[in-house]
């Protein structure tokens, strides 16, 4: 029996699993996953250009006018859900402005983004912005959602704590300040002339199975006792929506240039940026760092993390439909290169880390490679070969890719490439 068959058998015997109450079953699932390239079973790579009738899209016009939207519908239904509605009103309230931030190198702003509904419901998201000091004219922006709060991505200790809706309050301690500073590398970004605009993903959807009632979805419906997966919506959908709401802020700002925005995200947020970048064409560069399964990696390779883990561990990240692909990946009519293709012809950047096998680095490369079919329709430069890339490879083009040594992270090495890409294309 190969490992795929073993997983099918295990799932048939455990159709209902709960990692929250049964850690032993979680360990068993992790033990079933495969990290051996030679054990991978043959799988079919479908073409995003192939229509339901079997013929292929032949022009950009046909792609944009019909096929592209069909693929978006597919991802809504099978993975990430519907796009949440817009609140009745959005206000931006300036909370602070520090003119001599980062030792005089930056201007720092803290904003409250306040969503209000006619029925009186409100939801507030704290936003943090750094602008290069002395900038003349509107500046290009690196935009993202962060994990543990705005206070964790800066070395400045007087930034207010955010991400308060998270159930894990350990993020809100003095020791957690600046723990994720390298993920945003603000000093590097500012030194190269870019602004940074960020908010915590927990302030759009607190990342746990019962996060619904404190999420933006509560503006639009009753989620008081809601838990886990939903028919129509997902937390990834809420995070992608949040990225677009930050973009709305950039659009009305007099200091930030909304025509030059690079969206970036790591891991689960690397998955979310791909969905946000697919839906919102205002993002000119979409950077997906170590995004793995349901991100840039090819699902049907079944290498590293699989749905049997992801959808059981994080049911709120996806719509309920996704569960039907657990131990049944081959039933998908799409794979993740379809998602990456939706970003064409805008710049796509995918980054892997050598030791991040959970995320399947080679699968991330192949997803990026296969997206080239749609990019080629636009005459864009694409990845030239499906062969595995040597660690240290850095490709800067319409489709960029790198694989650096080391573990699952977004660090200064990744930033060197992202800033070069931005210098070239923004
Ligand atoms: C978990 C999850 C991954 C995800 C990662 C992260 O490991 O299984 O799919 O990418 O968390 O977001 O850090």
CA 53 to ligand 1 center in whole angstroms:
36
CA 238 to ligand 1 center in whole angstroms:
17
Q: Is 267 a catalytic residue?
A: yes
Closest CA to ligand 1's atom 2: 310
Ligand 1 pocket member 398 (CB < 6 A): no
Ligand 1 pocket member 268 (CB < 6 A): yes
Over the chain (426 residues), what is each successive 10-residue block's mean pLDDT? 97 96 97 98 97 95 97 98 98 98 98 97 98 96 98 98 91 95 98 98 97 98 96 98 99 98 98 99 98 98 98 98 98 98 98 98 99 98 98 98 98 98 98
Buried b (16+ CB within 10 A) or exposed e, 163-199: bbbbeeeebbeeebbebbebbbbbbebbebebbbbbb
Instruction: Name the CATH architecture for the domain at 89-425.
Output: 3-Layer(aba) Sandwich (3.40)
Catalytic residue among 234, 267, 359, 400: 267
What pLDDT is recorded for position 167?
A: 86
Q: Calculate the alpha carbon distances from 5 to 34, 36, 41, 215, 325 in Å.
A: 12, 15, 10, 38, 14
Domain spans, the chain: 89-425
CA 139 to ligand 1 center in whole angstroms:
32
Q: Calculate the alpha carbon distances from 69 to 14, 64, 278, 335, 365 in Å.
A: 36, 7, 10, 16, 25
**Nearest ligand 1 atom to alpha carbon 305:** 8
Strands 347-353 and 285-289: parallel
Q: Is 134 left (phi over 0), alpha (psi -120 to 50) or beta?
A: left
What pLDDT is recorded for position 131?
A: 98
The residue among 151, 200, 195 whose CA lies nearest residue 177 is 151
CA 310 to ligand 1 center in whole angstroms:
8
Ligand 1 pocket member 329 (CB < 6 A): no
Strand order in the sheet with 399-404: 89-100, 106-116, 122-132, 195-200, 139-146, 256-266, 285-289, 347-353, 399-404, 394-395
Beta carbons within 10 angstroms of residue 212's beta carbon: 25
Ligand 1 pocket member 293 (CB < 6 A): yes
What pLDDT is recorded for position 295?
A: 99
Ligand 1 pocket member 364 (CB < 6 A): no
Ligand 1 pocket member 292 (CB < 6 A): yes
Contact 408, 290 (CB under 8 A): yes
Ligand 1 pocket member 267 (CB < 6 A): yes
Q: Is 170 a catalytic residue?
A: no
Q: Rounded distance, CA 72 to CA 237, Å?
A: 12
Closest CA to ligand 1's atom 3: 268
The residue among 35, 11, 4 whose CA lies nearest residue 25 is 11
Beta strands in 28-100 (DSSP E): 89-100
The residue among 205, 210, 273, 268 whose CA lies nearest residue 235 is 205
H-only helix segments in 284-403: 307-313, 336-341, 361-370, 372-377
H-only helix segments in 33-67: 60-62
CA 407 to ligand 1 center in whole angstroms:
13
Q: Rounded distance, CA 20 to CA 167, Å?
A: 14
DSSP states of 167-216: S-GGGGSGGGTTTTHHHH-HHHHHHTT-EEEEEEGGGTS-SSTTGGGGSG
Among 208, 292, 310, name the best residue to mutate to test ligand 1's pocket (greatest count of ligand atoms within 8 A of Cβ): 292
Contact 108, 156 (CB under 8 A): yes
């Amino acid at each position: 029996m190969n490992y795929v068959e073993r997983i099918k058998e295990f799932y048939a015997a455990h159709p209902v699993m709960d990692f929250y109450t049964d850690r032993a079953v979680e360990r068993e699932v992790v033990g079933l996953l495969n990290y051996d390239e030679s054990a991978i079973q043959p799988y079919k790579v479908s073409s995003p250009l192939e229509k339901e009738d079997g013929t292929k899209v032949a022009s950009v016009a046909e792609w944009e006018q019909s096929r592209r939207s069909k693929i978006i519908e597919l991802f809504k239904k099978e993975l990430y859900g519907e796009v949440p509605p817009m609140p009745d009103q959005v206000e931006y309230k300036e909370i602070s402005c520090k003119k001599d931030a980062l030792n005089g190198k930056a201007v720092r702003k803290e904003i409250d983004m306040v969503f209000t509904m006619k029925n009186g419901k409100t939801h507030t998201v704290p936003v943090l912005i750094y602008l290069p000091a002395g900038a003349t004219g509107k500046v290009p922006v690196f935009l993202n959602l962060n994990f543990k709060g705005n206070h964790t991505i800066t070395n400045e200790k007087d930034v207010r704590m955010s991400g308060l809706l998270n159930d894990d309050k350990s993020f809100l301690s003095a020791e957690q300040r600046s723990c994720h500073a390298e993920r945003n590398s603000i000093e590097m970004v500012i030194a190269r002339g870019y602004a940074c605009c960020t908010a915590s993903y927990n302030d759009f959807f607190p990342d746990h199975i019962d996060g619904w009632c404190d999420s933006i979805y509560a503006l639009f419906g009753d989620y008081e006792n809601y838990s886990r997966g939903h028919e129509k919506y997902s937390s990834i959908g809420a995070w992608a929506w949040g990225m677009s709401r930050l973009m709305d802020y950039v659009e009305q700002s007099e200091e930030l240039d909304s025509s030059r925005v690079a969206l970036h995200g790591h891991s689960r947020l690397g998955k979310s940026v791909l969905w946000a970048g697919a839906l919102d064409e205002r993002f000119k560069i979409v950077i997906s760092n170590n995004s793995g399964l349901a991100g840039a990696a090819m699902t049907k390779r079944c290498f590293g993390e699989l749905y049997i883990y992801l959808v059981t561990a994080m049911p709120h990240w996806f719509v309920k439909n996704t569960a039907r692909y657990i131990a049944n990946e081959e039933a998908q009519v799409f794979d993740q290169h379809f998602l990456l293709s939706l970003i064409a012809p805008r710049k796509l950047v995918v980054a892997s880390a050598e030791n991040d096998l959970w995320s399947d680095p080679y699968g991330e490369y192949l997803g990026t490679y296969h997206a080239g079919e749609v990019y080629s329709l636009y005459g864009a430069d694409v990845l030239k070969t499906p062969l595995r890339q040597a660690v240290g490879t850095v490709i800067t083009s319409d489709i960029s890719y790198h694989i650096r040594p080391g573990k699952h992270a977004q660090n200064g090495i990744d930033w060197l490439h992202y800033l070069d890409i931005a210098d070239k294309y923004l």
